[in-house]
A and B are shown apart, each in its own frame.
Chain A
Amino acid sequence: MKFHPEGSATERPLVSLVDDDESVRESLPDLLREFGFAARAFSSAEEFLVSDCIGQTGCLILDIAMPGMTGPELQQELKRRRQEIPIVFITAQRDETVRPRVLEQGAVECLFKPFSDTALLDALNTALRLN
């Protein structure tokens, strides 16, 4: 099921992005809005955790390697807080052992940078269907 951007602004699911890379934080929210989502970007896991977005976030796009708390650590932290937000991991490191590990921990998808916009949209749709 594809999300239709024609829906009302309040109906637009919030997709939050946590990535330490600025160019991703700049470019991805624009694409997400083109997809029809609401988008918020955070430069670190800690920043996301102290924000008021956790409860509203329909899907979390999460970078794996970050200074400070890493993506998988944030995943564990959210579990610990019983915040069951579907997560789509993105990473610039093509480490094939990471993907099964995070999927096992409940992630919806793990995309290697650079990924296509359709691959991302498919992952997001899967994630939001879970809600």
Chain B
Amino acid sequence: MEELPADEIKRLRRCNNDLVSVLALPAMWSGAEPSQIVHTFLDALLGMLGLDLVYVRLKDPIGDSPIETVRIAQSRKQMPQPQEVCDLFNRWFGDDPQKWPPLVRNPIGDGDISIVPARLGLHGEIGLLLAGSQRAEFPCQTERLLLSVAANQASIGLQEARLLSEQRRVAKELDQRVAQRTTELAQTNQELRREIADRRRAEEQLRRSEAFLTEGQKLSRIGNFSWLVPTDDIKWSEQLYRIFEFELGVPVTFELIGSRVHPEDLPLLYDMIGKAQRAVSSFEYEHRLLMPDHSVKYLHLIAHGSRDNQGRLEYIGAAQDVSQRRLSEEALAKARSELANVARVTSLGVLTASIAHEVNQPLSGIITNAGTCLRMLSADPPNVDGARETARRTIRDGNRASDVITRLRTLYSKKDLSPESMDLNEATREVTALSLSELQSKRVILRHELADDLPAVTGDRVQLQQVILNLLRNAADAMSAVDDRPRELLIRTECDEGDRVRLSVKDAGVGFAAQAADKLFEAFFTTKSDGMGIGLSISRFIIEAHHGRLWATANDGPGATFAFSIPCAARAWPTPKTRVNQADPLTGAA
């Protein structure tokens, strides 16, 4: 075996050492970033091979522009900017190292410089390494070997680093996605919690509202109901059960309701059912309940009709226990009526007394004169002259009494007639509206049958309304003792023969005896214990002043019908109007 010269041995040993160092590089690069790898790789190469410059261009696996790095030996005085070197190399070299010239002009100094290119990666897919030295022998064989091995090692290291970096990037991205998803989930979770809390709050609020409603209903004694008319399906609120004092939840039927409704008010219940069958849009009643302990409750009921989705008529309504209000109202009404009664009795008393006084004075004269006359005639001899005088005075006093009655009548015609064209229906509605509560309190069921096409009449609105009011009150009074049948009152207007309008008031009251028919309208004729017997007389007076007629007929069934008929067209009304008598009708004194 040929002995190697000492220099050769030394060179080989150094090469060997360098190879070991180069092979050790990947261990240092484990886990490092590509940029770190490039820096340590270039530093090692620069020192190991005594290079003047070393350049690496890494292809960015993601981005387009390559990453370039340059190292220049520290010993060099002229230090160009790495960018200038890069630009120079880029200008000189294409991608194909085979076409590169072995010698190029030194970019960092004078003269030429030997450049050794090496691919990073099998096909240069990682990048390019350029090692440059001004030494004339560069590169020697071992230097080529070292460069080649080093380039390989760097390729492996960079490849790993790239993979690692890619893994890290992927891991990071995954982490980010997971974090983002987690945040999203947390947000969703929070929203759900909020929604749940909102719902709980809403439920709590609803529960509270319901409690408020229940309490409110309890306090105001108002219950609600619905009534599906075709099926008679009736639903009650809790409070309504309480008002009727039925066990909560028992099925509500009209039999059940009827068992509580005051027997005298049952006609109102039937009336309500009748209204529902006629499908009225709404109804309102006030009626009594007779409780098992015989106490009485007053119920105020209002309902409105609507159609459900199947087009069936349903009434939704509310019923209030107005007993307390009613009782105080009744107490008030009683007090008021007592007061009114006192006032009426007082004025009635005053009127009666003055009528009595005015009539009794001439009556007294009549009786005294008649007595005197008799005594004079029965004397012996009879005092005929005296008797004649007393008889004359008797006649005079009789006329005086008659004058009193005439004056009394004129009291009620004191006002001038103020004829105007008027709607009798409207005038009637005004009167019935005013009388409604009075009629209801007397348990009277009022029905209207007002003709739609009623022509206007000419008359004194106030006086005609007085007549209507008087007929209504008479009818109500006639039914005050009626308990075995509904106290029905029908007020009707219609066209009458001969261009006249007729208004009739039909009651179901006690009626009148046939022999009383012609006395009804006489002054002071009355069947009422508390009546003066003037109302009908005055009413007839008013109607006759309107060129009309007022009469009464007995009904086929119970009760009577009072009616008047007045002409529509205006007749010759007395003009100028004259006041009949402004003087006190009773005394004749002004």
Give residues in A with beta carbon < 8 Å to B.
21, 23-24, 26-28, 30-31, 34, 65, 90, 92-95, 112-117
B363-374 contact mask (Cβ, 8 Å, vs A): 1 or 0: 111111101100
Q: How far is the CA of A1 from the CA of B397 in the complex (A)?
A: 33
Q: Which residues of chain A are near B353, meaning CB under 8 Å?
A: 93-95
Q: Which of B7-15, B190-198, B275-283, B354-362 contacts A (4 or more CB under 8 A)?
A: B354-362
Q: Is the CB of B390 within 8 A of A21?
A: no
Q: Is B375 an interface residue (CB 8 A)?
A: yes
Q: Which residues of chain A are near B356, meaning CB under 8 Å?
A: 92-94
Q: Is the CB of A30 within 8 A of B372?
A: yes
Give residues in B with beta carbon < 8 Å to A.
353, 356-358, 360-369, 371-372, 375-376, 379, 386, 389-390, 393, 396-397, 400
Name which residue of chain B comes closest to A30, CB basis: B372
Q: Which residues of chain A are near B372, meaning CB under 8 Å?
A: 27, 30-31, 34, 117
Q: Which residues of chain B are near A117, meaning CB under 8 Å?
A: 367-368, 371-372, 375
Q: Is the CB of A21 within 8 A of B361?
A: yes
Q: Which residues of chain B are near A28, meaning CB under 8 Å?
A: 368
Q: How far is the CA of A31 from the CA of B375 in the complex (A)?
A: 8
Q: How far is the CA of A94 from the CA of B355 in the complex (A)?
A: 11
Q: Is the CB of A24 within 8 A of B364?
A: yes
Q: How far is the CA of A114 from the CA of B370 in the complex (A)?
A: 12
Also in contact, A31 and B368, with CB within 8 A (given A23-B400, A93-B353): yes
Question: Contact partner of A27 among B357, B358, B360, B368, CB < 8 A?
Answer: B368
Give B97 Cβ to nearest chain A Cβ, in Å.
152
In the complex, given contacts A24-B361, A92-B360, what are 13 additional A-B residue pairs having Cβ atoms less than 8 angstroms apart? A23-B400, A28-B368, A65-B357, A90-B364, A92-B356, A92-B357, A92-B361, A94-B360, A113-B364, A114-B363, A114-B364, A115-B364, A117-B368
Q: Which residues of chain A are near B389, meaning CB under 8 Å?
A: 30
Q: Is the CB of B365 within 8 A of A24?
A: yes
Q: How far is the CA of A112 from the CA of B386 in the complex (A)?
A: 26
Name which residue of chain B comes closest to A65, CB basis: B357
Q: How far is the CA of A94 from the CA of B349 in the complex (A)?
A: 11
Q: How far is the CA of A3 from the CA of B136 in the complex (A)?
A: 198
Name which residue of chain A comes closest to B366, CB basis: A114
Q: Is the CB of B390 within 8 A of A92?
A: no
Q: Is the CB of B361 within 8 A of A30?
A: no
Give A110 Cβ to nearest chain B Cβ, in Å.
14
Give A3 Cβ to nearest chain B Cβ, in Å.
14
Name which residue of chain B comes closest to A5, CB basis: B379
Q: Is the CB of B375 within 8 A of A34?
A: yes
Name which residue of chain A comes closest to B362, CB basis: A23
Also in contact, A24 and B368, with CB within 8 A (given A31-B375, A113-B363, A114-B363): yes
Q: Which residues of chain B are near A24, meaning CB under 8 Å?
A: 361, 364-365, 368
Q: Is the CB of B386 within 8 A of A30?
A: yes
Also in contact, A113 and B360, with CB within 8 A (given A23-B365, A30-B390, A95-B353): yes
Q: Which residues of chain B are near A113, meaning CB under 8 Å?
A: 360-361, 363-364
Also in contact, A114 and B393, with CB within 8 A (given A23-B362, A31-B375): no
Q: Is the CB of A34 within 8 A of B376?
A: yes
Q: How far is the CA of A106 from the CA of B400 in the complex (A)?
A: 34
Question: Contact partner of B393 among A26, A65, A115, CB < 8 A?
Answer: A26
Give A32 Cβ to nearest chain B Cβ, in Å.
9
Give B11 Cβ to nearest chain A Cβ, in Å.
166
Q: Which residues of chain B are near A26, meaning CB under 8 Å?
A: 365, 393
* 16 sample A-B contacts, Cβ–Cβ < 8 Å, listed by A number: A24-B364, A27-B372, A30-B389, A31-B368, A34-B376, A65-B357, A92-B357, A92-B360, A93-B357, A94-B356, A95-B353, A113-B361, A113-B364, A114-B364, A115-B364, A115-B367
Give B103 Cβ to nearest chain A Cβ, in Å.
161
Q: Which of A92, A95, A112 has the most chain B CB within a 10 Å cutoff?
A: A92
Also in contact, A27 and B361, with CB within 8 A (given A93-B356, A114-B367, A116-B371): no
Name which residue of chain B comes closest to A26, CB basis: B393
Name which residue of chain A comes closest to B356, CB basis: A94
Q: How far is the CA of A116 from the CA of B374 in the complex (A)?
A: 13
Also in contact, A114 and B360, with CB within 8 A (given A23-B397, A27-B393): yes
Name which residue of chain B comes closest to A113, CB basis: B364
Name which residue of chain A comes closest to B353, CB basis: A93
Q: Which residues of chain A are near B396, meaning CB under 8 Å?
A: 23
Q: How far is the CA of A79 from the CA of B372 in the complex (A)?
A: 32
Q: Which of B358, B375, B400 has the most chain A CB within a 10 Å cutoff?
A: B375
Q: Which residues of chain B are near A90, meaning CB under 8 Å?
A: 364
Q: Which residues of chain B are near A94, meaning CB under 8 Å?
A: 353, 356, 360
Q: Which residues of chain A are near B362, meaning CB under 8 Å?
A: 23
Q: Which residues of chain B are near A27, meaning CB under 8 Å?
A: 365, 368-369, 372, 390, 393, 397
Also in contact, A114 and B368, with CB within 8 A (given A23-B400, A24-B361): yes
Q: How far is the CA of A94 from the CA of B108 in the complex (A)?
A: 156
Q: How far is the CA of A116 from the CA of B363 in the complex (A)?
A: 11
Q: Which of A27, A95, A112, A116 has the most chain B CB within a 10 Å cutoff?
A: A27
Q: How far is the CA of A117 from the CA of B369 in the complex (A)?
A: 10
Give B387 Cβ to nearest chain A Cβ, in Å.
10
Q: How far is the CA of A112 from the CA of B361 in the complex (A)?
A: 10
Give B358 Cβ to nearest chain A Cβ, in Å.
8
Question: Contact partner of B361 among A23, A31, A34, CB < 8 A?
Answer: A23
Q: How far is the CA of A124 from the CA of B213 in the complex (A)?
A: 84
Q: How far is the CA of A30 from the CA of B356 in the complex (A)?
A: 25
Q: Which residues of chain A are near B371, meaning CB under 8 Å?
A: 31, 116-117
Name which residue of chain A comes closest to B383, CB basis: A34
Q: Which residues of chain A are near B379, meaning CB under 8 Å?
A: 34
Q: How far is the CA of A94 from the CA of B358 in the complex (A)?
A: 12
Q: Which residues of chain B are near A114, meaning CB under 8 Å?
A: 360, 363-364, 366-368
Q: How far is the CA of A23 from the CA of B372 in the complex (A)?
A: 13
Q: Which of A21, A34, A65 has the most chain B CB within a 10 Å cutoff?
A: A34
Q: Which 10 A-B pairs have the closest CB atoms?
A: A23-B365, A117-B371, A113-B364, A92-B360, A114-B364, A27-B368, A114-B367, A114-B363, A31-B372, A34-B375
Name which residue of chain A comes closest to B386, CB basis: A30
